[in-house]
Amino acid sequence: MPKLIVVDGSNIATEGRSEPSLAQLQDAVMALMEEYKGAKVSVVVDATFGHRISKKERAEFDHAIANNELVAPPAGAVGRGDAFILAIADKSGASIFSNDSFQEFHGKYKWLFEDGRLIGGKAVPHVGWVFVERLPVRGPTSRRSVKSGAVVPKELPKASPEASKPMPVPKGPPPGARKSARPAARASAPAAAPARTTAMANDVMPYLSFVEKHPVGTKVKAVVDTYAANGITVKVGDISGYVSLRNMATPPPRSARDLFKLGDTVALMVSGYTPSRRSVDLGVPDVVTANLKVVDKKAAPTKSAKKATATKAAAAKAAPAKKVVAKKAAAPAKKVVAKKAAAPAKKAAVKKAVPAKAVAKKVVAKKAAPAKKATPAKKPAKKA
């Protein structure tokens, strides 16, 4: 059991990928500490590591450098990170966790071929990180280093004979050239690349049946299936679900391995669905409940919105009342005008009836009969 292990951080973070990942390096180191309990671990990365990782991980990288969780070689160091790692291991007698063979250093550090000084490892699907002891791979660079007994530069790949020949003459138009409308040109054009399809997490019928029976907020029992980059994949019967780090705890854990182990049966809650991928989002019940409450509070109307709604309702109720009052106030005015206009007409009729009665009694009697209610008109008729 080694007492100290120096991790080649740049090599392990780039294992199986083109660009380094700080999250992958962290998972590997945590698994290494669990495998070699009692051994101290030092992680060394090269000077360009912080510029090659994702922008989302740079803040965490700076924090790790400030707290000495990660160590970078001094500026301008010859050999960069590899020389610094080997110098640390040579001085302390530590083992090295790396998948590199360090061929250019075989002549200077012959202890690399001793048992237990070099440890390799890879992440295996459905298992996790697996570690084995390994020996460096020899090659042309290694033979030159052993022959000289010192550090030699890496051999650059030699150019092929075809690379030294003149550039070939193109037989077709360059990419992006304007296509001709002629049928012959259309026939010779390459076929369009097939559209990329999104991988579905579940089949159609089991997914629809699960959605119908399990609305958001339903509790289910699931079995931890695999570890993912930012969470875990679980099985709920025939349905595959996903639990992100955000839905595991508050604040989110740095790794899902801290909370869940493969094969464990856990109680989870449905937090949502993604129909475009037929994905089921799950989480720890307490965390999902807290997240749903935060969403409800954001969706609730504010006090200012409620006041504005009440003001509009009051204005709507007051508007018809004004119209009714105006109509009621205008109605009596029309009646008064009508009465005033009718009064002079009646008086004029009475005055005209008086001289008519003086001429002929029959005519007066006929005209006076309808005017029985007019008392002042009857008295003058009797006197005449």
pLDDT one-digit tens code per residue, 91-110: 999 999 999 999 999 999 99
In degrees and rounded to multiples of 5, residue 248 shows phi and psi of: -95, -40
Average pLDDT for residues 267-296, to the nearest whole number? 86
Confidence of residue 75 (pLDDT cuts 50, 70, 90): confident
- Segment among 111-125, 135-149, 219-233, 294-308 with least mean pLDDT: 294-308
Confidence of residue 112 (pLDDT cuts 50, 70, 90): very high
pLDDT at 255 over 90: no
pLDDT one-digit tens code per residue, 291-341: 877 666 665 555 555 565 666 666 555 555 444 444 444 444 444 333 444
pLDDT at 204 over 70: yes
Q: Which residues pair with 345 in a beta bridge?
A: none
Q: Quote the pLDDT of residue 298.
A: 62
Q: In what order do the strands lie in the sheet with 4-8?
A: 40-44, 4-8, 95-97, 118-124, 128-133
Higher pLDDT, 251 or 356: 251
Confidence of residue 181 (pLDDT cuts 50, 70, 90): low
Specify burial of residue 35 (Cβ count, 10 A radius: 0-12, 13-18, 19+). Answer: middle
CB proximity list for 238: less than 8 A, separation 6 or greater: 202, 203, 206
Q: Are 131 and 164 in contact (CB under 8 A)?
A: no
Q: What is the mean pLDDT of the chain?
A: 78
Q: Quote the pLDDT of residue 151.
A: 85
